[in-house]
Amino acid sequence: MRKKIQYYLDLIIVLTHKELKVRYKSSFLGYLWSIAQPLCLAFVFFLAFKIVMRVQIEDYTLFLIAGLFPWQWFANSLGSSPLAFLNNVSIIKKVNFPRTVIPLTVILQDAFHFLLSIPVIVLFLFIYGKSPSPSWIYILPLLMVIQFFMIFGFSLLLSSVNLFFRDLERMASILLTLLFYFTPILYPETMVPQNFQPLLKFNPVAPIMMSWRNLFLTGAVNPGDIFVSLLYALAALVLGYRVYRSLSWRFAEIL
């Protein structure tokens, strides 16, 4: 048993290491690229909503960055998850290893980039005359774990089902776009009209994204939000793992 866990860990380490290395090996600017995209998005939304449409939100740039960086982790991991198994056909067909490590390494890699992007958030906090709160020390890891399990669940679901129903990879990117605008990232949840407010509860990523932003901007989070995200994360994990379990023995025949 212990040997099995050790082996599982080794697999994850080696594969994640490989992904990171491959990603940075042939690019000169390396790490900068992983923060360039959310920064650029933030800039575009700032132009559109603050400069052109003159939305009344305080410190809008900081507001955007605090929401976009965690969202990028979610969106990047899930965006690539439908292809996770498809990109590893040759080893899946030959070697009987725990296939869960493949989506897992994708998520770990994006989690790593998210961690590296936190200094950028801190920098913007300072620009706006604020500073990180000591509560980050325990809330940040908690949110990371919750978001990690939520992504893992969804990603097991997407990566497994997509092998049998390839339309899913197209649907996934559309769904992610929809989800982005339905989640309070560009706007605070308080701006959502009263009669639409209850709908926010049905968005599994809304509470975690709100928590991230609150944490970065104020250092305080709503315990209710954390609890609801935890429930959503567990539900995603159970669903994803069950689907994976029932389909995984057929991976090698369909690929």
Partner 1 sequence: MSEPVIVFDKVTKIFPLYHHMTGGLKNFLFHLPKAWNTLKNSKFEALRDVSFTVAKGEALGIIGRNGAGKSTTLGLMAGVLKPSEGKVVVKGRISPFLELGASFHPDLTGAENIILNGVLLGMTRSQVRKKADEIIEFSEIGDFIDQPIRIYSSGMLARLGFSVVAHLDPDILLIDEILQAGDIEFQKKCFQRMWEFRKSGVTMVLVTHSMENVKTLCDRVIWFDQRTVRMDGNPQDVVALYRSSAGIGP
Of 23 and 242, nearer to partner 1 (C-beta) is: 23
Of 7 and 43, nearer to partner 1 (C-beta) is: 7
Of 98 and 224, nearer to partner 1 (C-beta) is: 98
Least CB distance to partner 1 at residue 72 (A): 24
The CA distances from residue 66 to 98, 107, 117, 163, in Å, are: 35, 20, 11, 35
> 174-193: b or e for each residue (b if 16 or more CB lie within 10 Å)?
eebeebbebbbbbebbeebe
CA distance 158 to 168: 7
Of 24 and 180, nearer to partner 1 (C-beta) is: 24
Binding site residues, partner 1, CB under 8 A: 3, 6-7, 10-11, 13-15, 18, 21-22, 25-26, 90-97, 164-167, 249, 251-254
Least CB distance to partner 1 at residue 108 (A): 16
What are the backbone dihedrals phi and psi of residue 55, each rounded to the nearest 5 degrees, phi first?
A: -70, 140
Of 3 and 54, nearer to partner 1 (C-beta) is: 3
With a CB cutoff of 8 Å and minimum separation 6, the contacts of 228 are 201, 207
Least CB distance to partner 1 at residue 102 (A): 11
Count of other CB atoms within 10 angstroms of residue 235: 13
Q: Based on the number of CB atoms within 10 Å of its own CB, is 201 exposed (0-12), middle (13-18) or buried (19 or more)?
A: exposed
Of 66 and 92, nearer to partner 1 (C-beta) is: 92
CA distance 146 to 182: 20
CA distance 147 to 208: 7
Q: Based on the number of CB atoms within 10 Å of its own CB, is 172 exposed (0-12), middle (13-18) or buried (19 or more)?
A: buried
Least CB distance to partner 1 at residue 63 (A): 38
Of 29 and 95, nearer to partner 1 (C-beta) is: 95
Least CB distance to partner 1 at residue 91 (A): 5
Least CB distance to partner 1 at residue 109 (A): 14
Count of other CB atoms within 10 angstroms of residue 1: 5
Least CB distance to partner 1 at residue 2 (A): 11
